[in-house]
């Protein structure tokens, strides 16, 4: 069996959904399809998930969101009409939206997830209805009925291990299953979503659970390129990446695949193929366990903004047993996870995601570290970007770091931090956020031109 996932761009309009259904039905092995919420039809358009977030925010603030709800229903109605479906599917969606928007908000995170999930849930109902209207044996399946259980971390859920056993049964269904991505249910029965872009994760979980032959991830590009094509327009198309390379690159900014996608399929050794809904005959990019490493030492270059650095210095830090543990414990108490911890004899830097750092948490962390660890200096500096050079062949190649630093310095990009060694397949450079794109461009030129 092939598990295929279609992203928001592939579900954005009736025209796109017809392409999706043609792809599904063109191969009898494609029996399990995961769909996202309708995405942008043009650059200026708004994704349905973003409409739903605005709707939830308005309801939380004012207790009503009729206009926002109608905007969502109108998007689906437009699609249903374009697909030639009768009005009953729009009625189902309108009822569903009204139900989600009834009653008091007892928990904001929970309510937000309930609303966000409506995009994928109703998208799956529309796709299933269209396939049925064309005479196919297709059905919408709700994640609760399938047994997809998640942790109750609203907006940031992780799959619970028992889900894999539950979902195995999907193998036995003979028709086509249309499964909404992005959300599942907590053990208490509440809707919980993955982080944004998380329909990719749903697809990977299903592929692992049914031991699929391949997990096909359909998007709007012919392949994954060696750098983000929005930054390097003529970037080289890459035909094969390893799981490790793709994990590092998606962590660092290759938004084509969510960074948490690969874990379930990696464990089962299921290959992933990124393909284009608008050009399904193009071979796409394969992601596999191993690839032959030839002269392509560097496989890709990615970068992302949105990081902050906590700088701590204390004379003789190296002699203080437990110093690092105490710093990380203070972060843990504030519910903060860390990304990287480069250190020297008398200083330690901790890289954090800026979006996790509220003003209050920042104040608490600084005060606690000052009081409990008597440090000489401490500050949190925002606007850090991490740029990664990734490739399986890098560990066997001498001089790559020198080439990278040289290229950055020639372009006048100031390197704030370097981390090499914790991963055998990557080098990480911390640069100022406003120099991120420039760093990607010069590194691409150095290693690919
Ligand atoms: N290295 C890369 N290779 C290909 N696409 C990339 C890369 N980095 C970022 N992208 C972007 O990822 C987009 C596809 O991902 P996404 O917008 O999430 O699609 P979907 O709606 O299918 O989920 C592409 O249109 C492209 O702009
Ligand atoms: N619709 C959700 C989940 C998702 O995965 O979407 P997409 O496949 O369009 O990236 C979001 O916008 O975050």
The whole-number pLDDT of residue 103 equals: 79
> Which range (71-85, 192-206, 423-437) has the least confidence?
423-437
Of the pLDDT bands very low, low, confident and very high (cuts 50, 70, 90), residue 297 is confident
Does 190 count as an annotated binding residue? no
**294 domain-assigned:** no
> Which range (38-47, 61-70, 389-398) has the least confidence?
389-398
pLDDT of 179 > 90? The answer is yes
Mutational pocket test of ligand 2: of 38, 39, 193, 204, the residue with most ligand atoms within 8 Å of the beta carbon: 39
Pick from 260, 288, 316: which residue ends a domain? 288
Residue-level length of the chain: 449
Mutational pocket test of ligand 2: of 181, 202, 204, the residue with most ligand atoms within 8 Å of the beta carbon: 181
The whole-number pLDDT of residue 121 equals: 98
Same domain, 91 and 176: yes
Pick from 246, 265, 288: which residue ends a domain? 288
Contact call for residues 322 and 358 (beta carbons, < 8 A): no
159 has which bridge partners?
150
The whole-number pLDDT of residue 292 equals: 80
**pLDDT digits over 325-369, tens only?**
999 999 999 999 999 998 889 999 999 999 999 999 999 999 999
Of the pLDDT bands very low, low, confident and very high (cuts 50, 70, 90), residue 399 is confident
Domains: count for the chain: 2
Indicate the helix (H) or strand (E) that contains 19: helix 14-25
pLDDT of 423 > 80? The answer is no
Same domain, 273 and 313: no
- Identify the residue whose C-alpha is closest to ligand 1 atom 23: 7
The atom of ligand 1 lying closest to the CA of 258 is 18
- The Cα 216–Cα 264 span in angstroms is 14
**pLDDT digits over 218-239, tens only?**
999 999 999 999 999 999 999 9
- The Cα 123–Cα 199 span in angstroms is 12
Q: Which residues of 406-442 are buried (b: 16+ CB within 10 A; e: fewer)?
A: ebbeeeebebbbebbeebebbbbbbbbbebbbbbbbb
The whole-number pLDDT of residue 84 equals: 98
> Which range (113-122, 196-205, 395-404) has the least confidence?
395-404
Same domain, 101 and 15: yes
- Residue ranges around ligand 1 (CB below 6 Å): 7-10, 36, 39, 197, 219-221, 224-225, 227-230, 254-256
Same domain, 392 and 244: no
Q: Which residues contact 331 (CB under 8 A, 6 or more apart)?
A: 337, 338, 350, 352, 365
Q: Enter the tokens of residue 62.
A: 């004012």
The whole-number pLDDT of residue 295 equals: 60
Q: How far is the CA of 196 from the centre of ligand 2 (A)?
A: 6
CATH number of the domain that residue 151 is part of: 3.40.1160.10
Of the pLDDT bands very low, low, confident and very high (cuts 50, 70, 90), residue 377 is very high
In the DSSP assignment, the letter for residue 99 is H
Contact call for residues 250 and 238 (beta carbons, < 8 A): no
pLDDT of 396 > 90? The answer is no
Same domain, 195 and 265: yes
**295 domain-assigned:** no
pLDDT of 104 > 90? The answer is no
pLDDT of 324 > 70? The answer is yes
Same domain, 14 and 92: yes
Q: How far is the CA of 220 from the centre of ligand 1 (A)?
A: 7
**Cα 81 to chain centroid, rounded:** 31
Same domain, 250 and 396: no
Same domain, 317 and 266: no
**221 domain-assigned:** yes
> What is the number of other CB atoms lying within 10 angstroms of the CB of residue 403?
15
Same domain, 415 and 266: no
Mutational pocket test of ligand 1: of 40, 241, 255, 272, the residue with most ligand atoms within 8 Å of the beta carbon: 255
Q: Enter the tokens of residue 158.
A: 């992780």
Nearest to 200 by CA among 41, 35, 52: 35
Given the cut 0.90, state whether the ipTM is greater than it.
yes
Same domain, 306 and 442: yes
384 has which bridge partners?
307, 432
Does 292 count as an annotated binding residue? no
- Tell me the three state secondary structure of residue 13: coil
- The Cα 258–Cα 148 span in angstroms is 19
Ligand (nearest to CA of 250)? 1
CATH number of the domain that residue 379 is part of: 3.30.2130.10
276 has which bridge partners?
219
The atom of ligand 1 lying closest to the CA of 199 is 23
Q: How far is the CA of 258 from the centre of ligand 2 (A)?
A: 9
Same domain, 304 and 281: no
- Identify the residue whose C-alpha is closest to ligand 1 atom 16: 256
Strands (E), 138-190: 138-140, 176-180, 183-185
pLDDT of 267 > 70? The answer is yes
Does 6 count as an annotated binding residue? yes
Mean pLDDT over each residue of the chain, to the nearest integer = 95
Does 339 count as an annotated binding residue? no
Q: How far is the CA of 305 from the centre of ligand 1 (A)?
A: 16
Q: Show the domain range for 422.
A: 300-448
- Tell me the three state secondary structure of residue 225: strand
Contact call for residues 199 and 256 (beta carbons, < 8 A): no
- Tell me the three state secondary structure of residue 258: coil
Pick from 288, 323, 346: which residue ends a domain? 288
Same domain, 256 and 347: no
């Amino acid at each position: 069996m092939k598990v295929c996932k279609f992203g928001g761009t592939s579900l954005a309009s009736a025209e796109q959904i017809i392409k999706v259904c043609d792809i599904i039905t063109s191969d009898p092995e494609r029996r399990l399809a995961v769909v996202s919420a309708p995405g942008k039809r043009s650059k200026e358009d708004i994704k349905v998930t973003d409409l739903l977030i605005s709707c939830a925010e308005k309801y939380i603030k004012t207790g009503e969101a009729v206009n926002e709800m109608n905007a969502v229903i109108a998007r689906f109605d437009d699609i249903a009409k374009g697909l030639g479906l009768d009005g009953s599917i729009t009625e189902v969606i309108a009822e569903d939206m009204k139900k989600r928007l009834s009653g008091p908000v007892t928990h904001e995170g929970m309510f937000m997830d309930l609303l966000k999930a409506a995009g994928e849930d109703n998208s799956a109902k529309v796709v299933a209805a269209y396939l049925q209207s064309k005479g196919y044996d297709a059905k919408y399946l709700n994640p609760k009925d399938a047994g997809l259980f998640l942790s109750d971390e609203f907006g940031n859920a992780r799959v619970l291990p028992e889900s894999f056993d539950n979902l195995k049964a999907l193998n036995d269904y003979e028709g086509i299953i249309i499964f909404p991505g992005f959300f599942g249910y907590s053990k208490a029965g509440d809707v919980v979503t993955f982080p944004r872009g998380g329909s990719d994760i749903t697809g990977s979980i299903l592929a692992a659970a049914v031991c699929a032959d391949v997990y096909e991830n359909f998007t709007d590009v012919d392949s994954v390129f060696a750098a983000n094509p929005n930054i390097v327009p003529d970037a080289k198309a890459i035909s094969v990446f390893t799981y490790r390379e793709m994990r590092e690159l998606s962590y660092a900014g290759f938004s084509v695949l969510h960074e948490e996608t690969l874990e379930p399929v990696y464990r089962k050794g299921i290959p992933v193929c990124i393909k284009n809904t608008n050009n399904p005959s193009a071979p796409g990019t394969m992601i596999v366990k191993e690839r032959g490493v030839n002269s392509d030492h560097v496989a890709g270059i990615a970068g992302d903004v949105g990081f902050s650095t906590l700088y701590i210095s204390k004379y003789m830090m190296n002699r203080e047993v437990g110093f690092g543990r105490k710093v990380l414990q203070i972060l843990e108490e504030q519910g903060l996870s860390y990304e990287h911890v480069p250190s020297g004899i008398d200083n330690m830097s901790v890289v954090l995601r800026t979006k996790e750092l509220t003003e209050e948490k920042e104040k608490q962390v600084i005060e606690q570290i000052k009081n409990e660890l008597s440090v000489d200096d401490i500050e949190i500096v925002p606007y850090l970007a991490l740029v990664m050079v990734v490739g399986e062949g890098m560990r066997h190649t001498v001089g790559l770091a020198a080439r990278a630093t040289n290229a950055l310095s020639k372009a006048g990009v100031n390197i704030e931090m370097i981390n090499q060694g914790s991963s055998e397949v990557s080098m990480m450079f911390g640069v100022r956020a406003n120099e991120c794109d420039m760093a990607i461009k010069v590194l691409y030129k150095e290693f690919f031109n």
